[in-house]
Amino acid sequence: MITHNRVSACAPGRVELLGNHTDYNEGVVLGAAINRVICVSGVKKDRFIRITSADFGEVEIRSAKLRPLQGRRWANYILGVADELRNLHVPVGGFTADVSGDLPIGVGLSSSAAFELATALFLLKLFPARLEPLQIAKACQRAEHRYVGVQSGLLDQVISLFGRADHAVFFDCRSEEIRCVPFPADLALIIAESGKRRELAMGEYNLRRKETHAAARALGVRALRDVSSSDLDRCNDLSALLRRRASHVISENERVWRAVTLLEAGDGIGFGKLMNESHESSRQNFENSTPELDLLVSIAQDLPGVLGARLTGAGFGGATVTLCERPRAQQIAAELSRRYADATGIAPRIFVSRIADGAR
């Protein structure tokens, strides 16, 4: 065993404020890093990689034989990142990695991207090398594609890495422009878990990706980014299904552009309306909501002091985000929890979230 100083790195989850399923369609997204994290810590180790997690157990493999595991797939996030860093000539050898944190897993808050980024920053400290931040984000995305099997866009990694306290992060997935937009100080975000877990690799996410790309081909464009709502209205030869999928992505892009202007003007009411519109489009056009998510959103929208609510992340279960007046946030969260539990028998995990700095 090689003994070395212990190093660690942490990366936050993210909440998607607007821009649902726009990232892999070369669109625009607005999100924020939250004050819940995943941390990875450890030391160098001779010839072996040993990964431990209080939630998932322990995995050990030879560092010379990196490959995706069929069982204990949770370890593939770390193994995939290690492999991608090696491909970028980072001299990753054997190591131990202890995984911990307070970020809920599998509910649409990007625990996977936080796990990947915490791993990448940890390994770059353990096996020092210089990479640009966007290079790191893309290496983590490739790890998710190759080792986990989810063809995710880059949004989650970018927001977790580039997040800034009290700012939303605007990301243009085509130009790769990243910009921080001040978030109104008198507003707060409430994140509510529906109690219905998601499993993105199971197919619905990858299916939506195929459907939106098919819609772009049918419309004769490189990506749905290149189509406006009025263009779509004039097109008559799309199937009803592909029209709904395209309508969601196109209108989401338009909402993000409008939202940046509203945030810069401090217009929380206008921003909240866009969140409500986004959820309705998810429900009707993209069909990535669930009865539980719809219930959380409708309860929230009824509560005094709430400006808007929507599902966050890929959908198909997971969590919602509610925009509200900061002084009422704790009271709104408690009432949302009570009403949802009364209606479903599920006690949801609900918390008022701070907008936090990115991975460190």
Beta pairing class for 95-101 and 48-53: parallel
pLDDT at 168: 98
Residue 62 confidence (pLDDT) above 90: yes
**Of 56-60, 149-153, 298-302, 307-311, which gets the smallest average pLDDT?**
149-153
pLDDT at 100: 97
**Mean per-residue pLDDT, 19-44:** 96
User: 198 or 105: whose pLDDT is higher?
Assistant: 105
**Distance in angstroms (rounded) separating the CA atoms of residues 216 and 189:** 34
pLDDT at 2: 52
The whole-chain average pLDDT of the chain stands at 95
Least Cα distance to 25 among 188, 218, 226, 186 occurs for 226
pLDDT at 223: 98
**H or E stretch at 270:** helix 268-281
pLDDT category at 203 given cuts 50, 70, 90 is confident
pLDDT at 4: 64
Distances (CA, A) of 55 to 68, 105, 323, 342: 20, 10, 31, 29
Instruction: Dump pLDDT digits (tens) for 117-139.
Output: 999 999 999 999 999 999 999 99
- What is the pTM (predicted TM-score) of this model? 0.92
**Mean per-residue pLDDT, 27-51:** 96
| Total residue length of the chain | 360
pLDDT at 255: 98
**Mean per-residue pLDDT, 298-325:** 96
pLDDT at 1: 46
Residue 19 confidence (pLDDT) above 90: yes
Residue 261 confidence (pLDDT) above 80: yes
pLDDT category at 150 given cuts 50, 70, 90 is confident
Q: In the chain, what are the domains?
A: 7-178 (3.30.230.10), 184-353 (3.30.70.890)
**H or E stretch at 136:** helix 133-143
Least Cα distance to 277 among 238, 247, 305 occurs for 247
Instruction: Dump pLDDT digits (tens) for 81-115.
Output: 999 999 999 999 999 999 999 998 878 889 999 99
pLDDT at 151: 78
pLDDT at 200: 56
**Distance in angstroms (rounded) separating the CA atoms of residues 78 and 181:** 31
Number of Cβ within a 10 Å radius of residue 50: 17
Give the active site residues: 156
pLDDT at 199: 64
pLDDT at 349: 92
Which of helix, strand or coil describes residue 188?
Answer: strand
Instruction: Dump pLDDT digits (tens) for 165-196.
Output: 999 999 999 999 999 999 999 999 999 999 87
Contact predicate 319/351, CB 8 Å: no
Q: Which residue has the tokens 């199937």?
A: 239
pLDDT at 108: 80
